[in-house]
Amino acid sequence: MRKANNIDLETTAQLFQIVEDKQVLKTHKTVNQLEHGNWMSFELFLDDYDGCFSRVSDWVRFANRIDNDGVSEYLTWISKSNKLKIKQGYCTIVRESKWSDEATLIFDEPIEVVVGEVNDEYIVDKVNKITGRFSYEWLWMKNGRQDKIANGIEIYFDCQKYELIQPSKNI
């Protein structure tokens, strides 16, 4: 654990910046209607993303599944099946049930996380395991390919417990 001046420290709540740019994770306390959490932005999808949704009907089907079954449907979609352990680019997602929004993120390399603040200093710790739950928010934009339903979705992860575990070949 270390202290860092919050003026000089680059922090983000975006997963890709944490891993690719080696920035420090500082979660949001409130995301739109979702309150009382430690929210990290996990993924963003728009209806016009090339390669993901080649037709509007593909986006509508994806959006309807999430609307009906919750964010666990996103986890099923990225795993291409109902796997409970999913390697998703930056981390491995482990969940106990295919219908559960609760999961554990396990990173190959430890990341730095702001775990508290004292005056103008952040308290930063290294972790490689975060336990929490997934949630989502719909986005409506003027420049989407359709205007019948939301044009995008942002997937969030509510970080509830941080740990530094020793590397294991079984993970």
Tens-level pLDDT at each residue, the chain (171 residues)? 676 666 567 788 888 888 888 888 888 876 565 556 788 888 888 887 766 788 888 889 989 999 998 898 988 888 888 889 999 888 999 999 988 899 999 999 999 998 888 888 888 999 999 999 998 989 888 877 888 888 889 899 999 999 998 765 555
Residue 71 inside a domain? The answer is: yes
Distances (CA, A) of 77 to 63, 80, 102, 117: 11, 5, 16, 37
Residue 78 inside a domain? The answer is: yes
Residue 35 inside a domain? The answer is: yes
Instruction: State the pTM of this model.
Output: 0.85
- 72-79 helix and 56-69 helix, angle to the nearest 10 degrees: 130
Q: How many independent structural domains does the chain possess? A: 1
Residue 168 inside a domain? The answer is: no
* Domain around 86: 2-163
Q: Which 3 state secondary structure label does DSSP give 42?
A: strand
Distance CA 67, CA 124 (A): 36
Q: Is 17 left (phi over 0), alpha (psi -120 to 50) or beta?
A: alpha
- Phi, psi at 9, each rounded to 5°: -90, 125
